[in-house]
């Protein structure tokens, strides 16, 4: 009775658009709420993972730096990130000023994010409630990738420098990447480059991490051969628990990368034909087959670390194609991802670059997975938008190895060039490496930097080598 009375009064109000709050609109929004919680779980997993990889006297310092990078990156994404991504749509729909219109509508002080969805005309801003919820997804997405980036240089950099780097990475570089490939009408995706779950973003993450690791230099003793000289993780149990939280988050996040079209079903983010059931099955196949590949990598190297991180590596590799392949194909791509991690890890070690996590797990598998998509999903139609014609006609483009390779080259170039510029400027203006790590305080940054400690007394118990 109350619901019916309230609905009638609200619907009669001026400026109330009932289509924006239909049952279908609310279901789509709830779908994003689940995804938001799922990404938060993955973020928690990333924090726990790096806490385990840190030395005992540096755990709180590592967590503090990751949190600082995450909140700065998330806020930077909130300002212009969503608007930059939306430029692809204003272009496709024929705006005379696509950049101006996207910013006016979707930056932090824009028209569409500073009004309730029912106050917006569904003819002008269709699915406003869902798009506003997706804005929130972008914010936590920026925080997530900033936290990952911070993990590449634990125990050696200044917090202010890391925050500055994260602001540009999450607030500008990730949105530009999203504009290019994440959506049906981006310049690359509209031409046939395919990404579903973020493989190309992991390429950006890997290239930025590579530059950061190079400029920050190795931790003292990172390549030492004497017993006890190498910086070792203090708690591998936390690493495993962090990995499990990350995987749990994937189960809710994975379906965010698509569209639920009323009476038509689920489409991938590039408006390719797909299905919720197949995507979820592919995710499970990815995790299991990746784990088997991790067992092979462990057996081949004698290092259990490669097994423990194998589900994440498998996700990175299979994320590009998960919505356009059969379950056995997704499993096959994932199976070899841990071996790619082993190869990338040893290349990093040979180059004396100190990072056992981000570059080996993200960059190598992401490049491999993006290219593999061009083979296993060749000929799949995507791109364009419903109701458009010409260059943006619905599903006018096809996936192929050539277009995937073009995307890989473009993202490596975007990542390396932007990182070299930004990290170089930050290093010159703010300083990058924390000099305290070279003055005997590299194992006690909690007290030296924060004046607090995560543990009462240092201990070598539970340390496990990752070399």
- Position 6 scores a pLDDT of 33
Task: Give percent of the chain with pLDDT exceeding 90.
Answer: 77
Res. 430: pLDDT tops 80:
yes
Judge whether 194 and 373 are in contact, CB under 8 Å: yes
The mean of the pLDDT values for the chain is 91
- Position 10 scores a pLDDT of 42
- Position 67 scores a pLDDT of 97
Structure tokens at 417: 């060039």
- Position 11 scores a pLDDT of 46
Q: Give all domains of the chain, ordered by start, each with its CATH number.
A: 25-219+229-450 (1.10.3430.10)
Confidence of residue 212 (pLDDT cuts 50, 70, 90): very high
Confidence of residue 230 (pLDDT cuts 50, 70, 90): confident
Confidence of residue 9 (pLDDT cuts 50, 70, 90): very low
Buried b (16+ CB within 10 A) or exposed e, 153-186: bbbbbbbebbbbbbbbbbbbbbbebbbbbbbbbb
Query: Which residue matches tokens 């006297």?
Result: 57
Res. 422: pLDDT tops 50:
yes
- Position 229 scores a pLDDT of 67
Q: What's the mean pLDDT in 396-421?
A: 98
- Position 383 scores a pLDDT of 96
Q: Rounded to whole angstroms, how far apart are CA atoms 295 and 302?
A: 10
Q: What's the mean pLDDT in 27-35?
A: 82
- Position 234 scores a pLDDT of 85
- Position 14 scores a pLDDT of 52
- Position 232 scores a pLDDT of 81
pLDDT in tens, 335-380: 999 999 999 999 999 999 999 999 999 999 999 999 999 999 999 9
Res. 433: pLDDT tops 60:
yes
- Position 300 scores a pLDDT of 96
Res. 106: pLDDT tops 80:
yes
Least confident of 117-126, 137-146, 306-315: 117-126
Least confident of 23-27, 93-97, 223-227: 23-27
Q: What's the mean pLDDT in 32-61?
A: 93
Q: What's the mean pLDDT in 442-454?
A: 90
Continuous H helices in 254-275: none
pLDDT in tens, 153-196: 999 999 999 999 999 999 999 999 999 999 999 999 999 999 99
- Position 457 scores a pLDDT of 65
- Position 193 scores a pLDDT of 98
Structure tokens at 48: 């726990």
- Give the 3-state DSSP-derived string for 68-110, with helices as H, strands as E and coil as C: HHHHHHHHHHHHHHHHHHHHHHHHHCCCCCHHHHHHHHHCCCC
Res. 238: pLDDT tops 70:
yes
Task: Give percent of the chain with pLDDT exceeding 70.
Answer: 93
Buried b (16+ CB within 10 A) or exposed e, 409-438: ebbbebbeebbeebbeebbeeeebbbeebe
- Position 454 scores a pLDDT of 84
The burial of 276, by beta-carbon neighbours within 10 Å (0-12 exposed, 13-18 middle, 19 or more buried), is given as middle
Confidence of residue 265 (pLDDT cuts 50, 70, 90): confident
Judge whether 463 and 228 are in contact, CB under 8 Å: no
């Amino acid at each position: 009775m109350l619901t019916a009375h309230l609905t009638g009064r609200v619907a009669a109000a001026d400026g109330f658009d009932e289509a924006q709050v239909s049952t279908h609109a609310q279901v789509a929004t709830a779908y994003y709420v689940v995804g938001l919680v799922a990404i938060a779980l993955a973020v928690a997993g990333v924090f726990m993972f790096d806490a385990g990889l840190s030395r005992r006297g540096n755990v709180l310092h590592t967590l503090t730096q990751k949190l600082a990078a995450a909140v700065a990156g998330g806020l930077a994404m909130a300002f212009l990130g969503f608007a930059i991504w939306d430029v692809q749509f204003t272009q496709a729909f024929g705006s005379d000023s696509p950049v101006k219109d996207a910013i006016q509508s979707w930056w932090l002080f824009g028209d569409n994010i500073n009004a309730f969805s029912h106050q917006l005309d569904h003819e002008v801003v269709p699915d406003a409630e869902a798009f506003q919820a997706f804005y929130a997804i972008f914010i936590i997405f920026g925080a997530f990738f900033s936290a990952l980036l911070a993990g590449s240089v634990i125990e050696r950099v200044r917090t202010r420098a890391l925050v500055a780097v994260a602001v540009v990475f999450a607030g500008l570089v990730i949105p530009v990447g999203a504009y290019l490939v994440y959506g049906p009408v981006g310049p690359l995706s509209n031409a046939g480059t395919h990404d579903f779950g973020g493989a190309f973003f992991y390429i950006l993450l890997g290239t930025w991490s590579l530059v950061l690791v190079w400029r920050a230099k190795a931790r003292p003793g990172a390549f030492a051969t004497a017993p006890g000289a190498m910086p070792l993780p203090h708690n591998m149990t936390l690493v495993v628990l962090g990995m499990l939280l990350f995987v749990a988050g994937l189960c809710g996040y994975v379906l965010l990368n698509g569209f639920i079209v009323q009476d038509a079903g689920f489409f991938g983010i590039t408006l390719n034909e797909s299905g919720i059931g197949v995507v979820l099955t592919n995710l499970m196949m990815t995790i299991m087959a990746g784990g088997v590949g991790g067992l092979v990598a462990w057996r081949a190297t004698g290092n259990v670390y490669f097994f423990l991180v194998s589900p994440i590596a498998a996700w990175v590799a299979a994320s590009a194609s998960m919505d356009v392949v059969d379950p056995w194909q997704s499993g096959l791509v994932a199976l070899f991802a841990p071996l790619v991690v082993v190869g990338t890890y040893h290349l990093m070690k040979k180059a004396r670059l100190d990072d056992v996590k981000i570059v080996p797990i993200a960059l190598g598998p992401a490049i491999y997975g993006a290219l593999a998509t061009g083979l296993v999903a060749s000929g799949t139609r995507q791109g364009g938008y419903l109701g458009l014609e010409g260059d943006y006609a619905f599903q006018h483009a096809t996936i192929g190895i050539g277009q995937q390779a073009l995307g890989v080259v473009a993202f490596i170039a975007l990542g390396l060039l932007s990182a070299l510029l930004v990290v170089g400027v930050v290093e010159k203006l703010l300083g990058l490496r924390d000099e305290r790590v070279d003055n005997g305080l590299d194992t006690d940054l909690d007290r030296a930097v924060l004046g607090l400690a995560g543990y009462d007394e240092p201990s070598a118990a539970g340390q496990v080598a990752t070399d």
